[in-house]
Chain A
Amino acid sequence: MAHSNWAEWIYVAVVIALLTYVGAEAWNIENLIEHVPEDAEVIKVTAQQWFWSFEHEDGTKEVGELHLKKDHAYKFEIESKDVNHNFNIHEYVVLLDAVPGQINTVWFSPNEAGEFDIQCREYCGLIHYNMRATLIVEDVK
C-alpha cells in the first residue's frame, strides 16, 4: 500500500461527473415530457388477453385499430382487464404498462400521418407475440 492513489481519485471524480451529467440530462427530458398539455384528448385504452380496445372522448369505440388526427395531443388512460400488458407505439416512443386495477397515463402528439404498429411489450401468455393493433394517424385539419 506504499504507492499513492491519486490517479484513481481523479478517475472516480471523472466517472461521478459523467454520471451527474447523465442524471441531470435524463431528469430534464423526463421533466419536459411528463407535462401533459391541457387540451389533450383522453383515449381510454383497455388491454386484455390478447387484443387492444380503445374508447375516444366522444364515446366511439374501436378494437384493434386506433384512428387519431395529426398534430393533436392525446392522453392515453391505460388499464387492463386480466393480466399485465404493456401498451407500446414504438414509432412514437409511447410505452406504459397496463396493470389491472390501476390506470396509467401517458401522452403524445403524432406529427406524421400514416400507419404505425401498436404492440404488447409485457409478457402476457399464449398469444403475447401477436397482441398487436394498428395506429392510423389521419391528416385532417
Chain B
Amino acid sequence: MSKIFHLSIIIATLCIIPTISLVFAAETTGEYLDRKAEIWNLFFRMMTVAFVVGGVIAGTMVWQVWRFRESNPKAKPTPYEEKGEL
C-alpha cells in the first residue's frame, strides 16, 4: 500500500509543479492577445494527448482481439473453463 502511496505522490508532483508554473507564467505584453491562435493551439495540444492515449488503447485492443481470439493457434482454454467455474 505504501508503495502505491509513494508512487502517487511522485506522479502528482511531476504533474502539478509544471502546471502551476505554466498557469502563473507571465502574460505577453504589447499587442492584443491572438485569441484564435491561443484557442487552436490549445486544441491541438489536447488532440495530441487524445491521439496518443487513443493509440495506446486502440493498439492494446487490436492486439488483444488478435492474440486472444479462439482461432489463434496459441489460444488455450482458460483455467476457469478447465475447472468448469464459468
Whether B38 and A111, one on each chain, are in contact in the complex, defined by CB atoms closer than 8 angstroms, is no
Whether A109 and B32, one on each chain, are in contact in the complex, defined by CB atoms closer than 8 angstroms, is yes
Using CB atoms, name the residue of chain A closest to B3. A6
Count, chain B residues at interface, CB 8 A: 28
Whether A93 and B36, one on each chain, are in contact in the complex, defined by CB atoms closer than 8 angstroms, is yes
The digit string for A1-41, where 1 denotes a CB below 8 A from any CB of B, is 00000100110011001101110111111011101010000
- A32 and B33 CA atoms in complex are apart in Å by 8
Q: Is B62 part of the contact surface with A, judged by Cβ < 8 Å?
A: no
Whether B39 and A93, one on each chain, are in contact in the complex, defined by CB atoms closer than 8 angstroms, is yes
The digit string for A104-124, where 1 denotes a CB below 8 A from any CB of B, is 000011010000000000000
Interface size grouping (class) on chain A:
20 to 34
Whether A24 and B22, one on each chain, are in contact in the complex, defined by CB atoms closer than 8 angstroms, is yes
Residues of B within 8 A of A20 (CB): 15-16, 19
Using CB atoms, name the residue of chain B closest to A12. B8
The digit string for B31-60, where 1 denotes a CB below 8 A from any CB of A, is 111111011101001100100010000000
| Chain A stretch 73-126: residues in CB contact (< 8 A) with chain B | 73, 91-94, 108-109, 111
Q: Is B81 part of the contact surface with A, judged by Cβ < 8 Å?
A: no
Q: Is A71 part of the contact surface with B, judged by Cβ < 8 Å?
A: yes
Residues of B within 8 A of A33 (CB): 33, 35, 38-39
Residues of A within 8 A of B7 (CB): 10, 13
Residues of chain A whose beta carbon lies under 8 Å from any beta carbon of chain B: 6, 9-10, 13-14, 17-18, 20-22, 24-29, 31-33, 35, 37, 71, 73, 91-94, 108-109, 111
Residues of chain B whose beta carbon lies under 8 Å from any beta carbon of chain A: 4, 7-8, 11-12, 14-16, 19-20, 22-23, 25, 27, 31-36, 38-40, 42, 45-46, 49, 53
